[in-house]
């Protein structure tokens, strides 16, 4: 994995971690494949099986981006003051794709 996300696969990370919270009137629930909570950041990774996966973030289905943006919003509430970094792991080809904040911001749930 990319060095910035390698710790998400380490012994201090969680596999199949539940994520639940409220963003405004919306309830967000789900499960992420890898979660790492560190003192200054939270890493969240979700596996996707698309064949073939998109070449770049512009090809990621909006459904996936909305899902990760919602998880990021919940985790920001749960861990205030920490950076929340999100990435998809495409199982076909085992490729890690970090999702930029700007992309997630454009799909963030409204409060």
Give per-residue pLDDT as tens, 5-53. 888 999 999 999 999 999 989 999 999 999 999 999 999 999 999 889 9
Share the mean pLDDT of the chain: 94
Cα(24)–Cα(26) distance, rounded to whole angstroms? 6
**% of the chain with per-residue pLDDT over 70:** 98
Q: Is 50 helix (H, G, I), strand (E, B) or coil?
A: coil
pTM score, whole prediction: 0.92
CA distances from 50 to 2, 60, 75, 76, 97 (A): 20, 10, 25, 28, 13
Query: Can you give the pLDDT at residue 1?
Result: 56
Phi and psi at 80, nearest 5°, equal -60, 140
């Amino acid at each position: 994995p990319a060095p910035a996300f390698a710790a998400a696969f380490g012994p201090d990370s969680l596999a199949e971690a539940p994520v639940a919270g409220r963003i405004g009137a919306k309830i967000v629930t789900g499960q992420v494949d890898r979660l790492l909570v560190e003192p200054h950041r939270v890493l969240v990774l979700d596996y996707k099986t698309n064949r073939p996966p998109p070449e770049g973030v512009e090809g990621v289905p909006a459904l996936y981006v909305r899902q990760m943006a919602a998880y990021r919003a919940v985790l920001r509430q749960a861990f205030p003051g920490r950076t929340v970094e999100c990435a998809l792991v495409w199982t076909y080809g085992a490729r890690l794709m970090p999702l930029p904040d700007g992309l997630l911001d454009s799909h963030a749930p409204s409060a």
